[in-house]
Amino acid sequence: MQLTLIALVENKPGVLNRVASLFRRRNFNIESLNVGRTEKADISRMTIVLENGNVDARKVEANLYKLVNVIDVQDVTNQPAVTRDLALIKVSATSEQRAEIANLASIFRARIVDVAPDSVIVEITGTEDKIEGLVELLSPLGILEMVRTGQVAMMRGSASGVRYAPGANGSKDLEKVTN
Amino acid sequence: MTKKTGAEILWECLVREGVEVVFGLPGGAIMPVYDAMLYYPIHHVLVRHEQGAAHMADGYARASGKVGVAMATSGPGATNLVTGIATAMMDSSPIVCITGQVHAHLIGGDAFQETDVTGITLPITKHNFLVTRAEEVADVVREAFYIARSGRPGPVLIDICKNAQVEEVEYSYPEEVSLPGYLPPTHAPMEDLKRAAELIEQSERPVILAGHGVMMSDAMEALSVFATKTQTPVAMTLLGLGSFPASDPLNLGMMGMHGEAYCNLAIQNADLLLAFGMRFDDRVTANLRTYAPRARKIHIEIDPSEVHKNVEVDVPLVGDLNTVLTDLIPLVDEYDHEEWRSEIEEWRGESQARDIMTWPDDGKLYTAHAIRDLWEVTNGEAIITTGVGQHQMWAAQYYHFEKPNRMITSGGAGTMGFGLPATIGAWFAKPDEEVWLVDGDGSFQMTQAELSTAMQEGANIKIAIMNNRFLGMVRQWQEFFFESRYSGTPLSCPDFVMIAEAHGIPARKVTEPGEVLPAIEFARQTDGPVVIEFQVEKEEAVYPMVPTGADLDKMIRRPIRNEPTAAD
Ligand SMILES: Cc1ncc(C[n+]2csc(CCOP(=O)(O)OP(=O)(O)O)c2C)c(N)n1
């Protein structure tokens, strides 16, 4: 099982380092960690996927709140959330094999974004499972390189993820903070 | 708006924060700050090693409840602070460390004395800042002090680039701090308080575990009201000593590895533990699997990450201890718990029969006896600082604290060498109080250089060195668990009296019990620093002792002894 959390953090230098350092110190295993800009210039958003060997989401949340720059944490594991990962997969392909790859790609709604004499790059976006599925089928052809962004997640509709201790950060006025 | 340099703004803001004293040592990267210092009403204490500066700031903070400030140059100056910062972190002590850094445009280029100090101190500070422009100085100082002292206090480091110290910018004092991600909790929810009150109602054998948080939250009064109203006995952690008066009949003394036997027994037999501002450290729980097996647990704690960390609790109340307790008190009834208290009294009686104080005078000098004398003479009201080791545990056991913020000791980190500098810091916080360092010969030598600082400042501190010519606590472990193979623990010491006198500090050596009281009196009558070297028994052990990993009530006890045996 994996845990997926969303953290809103102040967009300041070194914040990623603080989060990574905290996870290392507390012995939390990061599966993937994605950081990017949000609709607000001064706030960045992290999607953190952890192996939940020895941790639960409540503990991760409580520790994240120890960091001064962390504004909000939500646990979206098993919640109605959209999660996506993007992968670029370079597969060795002779001209005869291209059609087969194109076929597979279209089943997965993936795209071929580069064609070279002896390889192609397939781009796929989707859930972890979907990407794993395509990787499995492409493997026999010979995967030369692969890069993945790690998951990003967003709750559907107006729902939010689980906040275990909103009190952890006092009576934080989220509206005020994030608007 | 007026124009000021970054260095001036720094001092301006420190004055606004109420800083009266700064402990530090200058060097190239912080020279503009030192230059500007001359024009501000803040006293600078020149240390002999920057570790001392951090411990002094820490001792100052613990004795005063205010933020202590340490200052150092870049590179080695800053790295010398590290042990002191880690010590403050483990014990949640509010200090602000200010370090110089190379010019912002040189960062990353391995310039002379450039060290990545914010990187190094990331895991041992509550928060840290790298200041690259003078414009940032005022906001950062404001935020640093606020973060250091609020919520769960802790050390904050500000690394200021040299250019940010000399640049001139418009300055106005920031009236507000903007920390959108930082809002320490205050009140606990009412339904949780009610749930706690139910558990209290159902309990027949409750014990309060009072930690450092009681003092940091200024909850002594609330603790006393709660304990008295519910007639609940109070056990204290090492850092909690003083949070509840030792003379109160409900006091159980110190818990844990070297805690009172009856106190540990009470915890193991309790049906409810009320943990107030403590974090179930391994030194107080011993074996977690068998810890207080029949007890339900209520945990009042300001740091949510401490809740369920070591011990699963039934009702966590996350908030400021004083606020939460004050909210809880009206919800609980008065109780008597007479049966439970008399059961504990029986254990207490049995424990006291084994106490070293019941030993007949055998002409030998024991650290515990000397500390006991010091306690009596000073009415239990002195500020006591310690190093780390046996003497520290004896100080905790035999100096019975009546008042808060008087036991100043490195608990979480167990930092030898903390004692002398922390004493100097504590004296600056409370110059009118009696301040005694109870130190070991090993610990003392780690930061002995600060004797010159004490001399230069004329600090009215009294230093008792318990010289057993061993790294005593490690020797004790070797005796108990390594068949008395004393590897790396016998210690040759200089003549501490001569060391003191070389500093112009009056000193006495004590070799037998009859000299203890006169020496203490001499120290008390003499103004300024005084050193007393006690040549104590070499191989005495601290009892009781819970071996690492054992159950809390499986203590190694002091053998009962009424007559000196032939072996003595
Ligand atoms: C900086 C540091 N190094 C090593 C230790 C391990 N240690 C714990 S107690 C102790 C012995 C302390 O000896 P001393 O200060 O003479 O006190 P005593 O136990 O003899 O009273 C040692 C070495 C420590 N706590 N801190």
Whether A115 contacts chain B with CB within 8 A? no
- Listed in sequence order, the residues at least 6 apart from A167 whose beta carbon sits closer than 8 Å to its beta carbon are B185, B188, B189, B304, B318, B319
**Which residue has the CA at smallest separation from atom 1 of ligand 1?**
B416
B130: closest CA of chain A, how far (Å) = 10
Q: Report the pLDDT value the prediction gives residue A175, as an integer from 0 to 100.
A: 45
Beta bridge partners of B384: B407, B436
Which tokens hold the place of A141? 């052809």
What pLDDT score was predicted for residue B562?
Answer: 56
Chain B CB contacts of A25 below 8 Å:
123
Instruction: State the pLDDT at residue B561.
Output: 63
Q: Do B183 and A171 touch (CB under 8 A)?
A: yes
CB contact set of B176 (below 8 Å; sequence gap of 6+): none
Catalytic residue set of B: 50, 112-113, 162, 473
Cα B377 to ligand 1 centroid, rounded to whole Å: 27
- The answer to whether the CB of B412 is under 6 A from ligand 1 is no
**Tens-digit pLDDT string for chain B (568 aa):** 789 999 999 999 999 999 999 999 999 999 999 999 999 999 999 999 999 999 999 999 999 999 999 999 999 999 999 999 999 999 999 999 999 999 999 999 999 999 999 999 999 999 999 999 999 999 999 999 999 999 999 999 999 999 999 999 999 999 899 899 999 999 999 999 999 999 999 999 999 999 999 999 999 999 999 999 999 999 999 999 999 999 999 999 999 999 999 999 999 999 999 999 999 999 999 999 999 999 999 999 999 999 999 999 999 999 999 999 999 999 999 999 999 999 999 999 888 777 877 777 788 999 999 999 999 999 999 999 999 999 999 999 999 999 999 999 999 999 999 999 999 999 999 999 999 999 999 999 999 999 999 999 999 999 999 999 999 999 999 999 999 999 999 999 999 999 999 999 999 999 999 999 999 999 999 999 999 999 999 999 999 999 999 999 999 998 776 544 444 4
Interface test with B, best of A10, A21, A65, A69 (most B CBs within 10 A): A65
A29-49 residue pLDDT tens: 999 999 999 999 999 999 999
Which residue has a Cα nearest atom 20 of ligand 1? B472
Confirm if B387 and B436 have CB atoms less than 8 A apart. no
How far apart CA A105 and CA B54 sit, in angstroms, is 61
Does the beta carbon of A58 lie under 8 angstroms from any beta carbon of chain B?
A: yes
Inter-chain residue contact A68 with B127, CB threshold 8 Å: yes
DSSP string across B246-289: TTSTTEEEE-STTS-HHHHHHHHH-SEEEEES----HHHH-SGG
Question: Does residue A31 belong to the interface with chain B, where contact is any CB pair within 8 Å?
Answer: no
* Residue B496, φ and ψ in degrees, nearest 5: -65, -25
Residue A170 contacts B, CB cutoff 8 Å: yes
**For chain A, what is the mean pLDDT?**
90
- The domain B190-350 having CATH identifier 3.40.50.1220: the answer here is yes
Residues of chain A with CATH 3.30.70.260: 2-79
The DSSP code sequence of B371-439 is: HHHHHHHTTT-SEEEE-SSHHHHHHHHHS---SSS-EE---SS--TT-HHHHHHHHHHH-TTS-EEEEE
Predicted confidence (pLDDT) per residue in A70-101, tens digit: 999 999 999 999 999 999 999 999 999 999 99
| Ligand 1 atom closest to Cα of residue B446 | 1
> Which residue, judged by its Cα, is nearest atom 13 of ligand 1?
B471
The atom number, within ligand 1, closest to the CA of B471 reads 13
Q: What residues contact B99, with CB distance under 8 A and at least 6 apart?
A: B29, B30, B71, B72, B73, B74, B77, B78, B81, B117, B157, B158, B159, B160
According to the model, what pLDDT value does residue A53 have? 77
Is the CB of B445 within 6 Å of ligand 1? no
Where are the CATH 3.40.50.970 domain residues in chain B? 3-170, 360-535
Q: B441 CB less than 6 Å from ligand 1?
A: yes
Interface contact flag, A59 B319, Cβ < 8 Å: no
Asked if B189 has any chain A CB less than 8 Å from its own CB, the reply is yes
Which residues of chain A does B309 touch, with a Cβ-Cβ cutoff of 8 Å? 59
Structure tokens at A174: 């989220």
Tell me the pTM: 0.95
- The length of chain B is 568
Question: What CATH superfamily is the domain B3-170?
Answer: Thiamin diphosphate (ThDP)-binding fold, Pyr/PP domains (3.40.50.970)
* Biggest alpha carbon–alpha carbon distance for chain B: 82
Q: Are A45 and A36 in contact (CB under 8 A)?
A: yes
Q: Which residue of A lies nearest to B147 if distances are taken between CA atoms?
A: A68
For residue A74, the surrounding DSSP H or E stretch is: strand A70-75
A2-79 fold: Alpha-Beta Plaits (3.30.70)
Whether A10 contacts chain B with CB within 8 A: yes
Does the CB of B130 have a partner CB in chain A at under 8 Å? yes
DSSP per residue, B140-185? HHHHHHHHHHSSS---EEEEEEHHHHH-EEEE----S---TT----
Confidence of residue A1 (pLDDT cuts 50, 70, 90): confident
Architecture of domain A82-152: 2-Layer Sandwich (3.30)
Q: How far apart are CA A10 and CA A22, in angstroms?
A: 16
- CA dist., res. B568 & res. B559, Å (int): 14
Determine the topology of domain B360-535 in CATH.
Answer: Rossmann fold (3.40.50)
Chains A, B: CB contacts within 8 A come to 64
- Phi then psi for residue B209, to 5 deg, are -110, 105
- The helix-helix angle for B367-377 and B516-525 (nearest 10°) equals 50
A7 has a chain B CB within 8 A of its CB: no
Structure tokens at B466: 């318990």
User: What's the pLDDT score for residue B431?
Assistant: 98
| Amino acid at site B288 | L
Look at residues B203, B210, B173 and name the one whose alpha carbon lies nearest to residue B321.
B210
A-interface mutation test, from B126, B146, B182, most A Cβ less than 10 A away: B182
ipTM: 0.90
Cβ–Cβ below 8 Å for B185 and A172? no
Q: What is the location of CATH 3.30.70.1150 in chain A?
A: 82-152
Whether A171 and B319 lie within 8 Å, measured CB to CB: no
How far is the centre of ligand 1, averaged over its atoms, from the C-alpha of B548 (Å)? 17
**In chain B, what residues touch A19 (CB-CB under 8 Å)?**
none
Provide the chain B residues 337-376 that lie in CB contact (below 8 A) with chain A.
Answer: none
B472 CB near ligand 1 (under 6 Å):
yes
Residue B4, beta-bridge partner list: B169
| B258 pocket-lining for ligand 1 (C-beta < 6 Å) | no
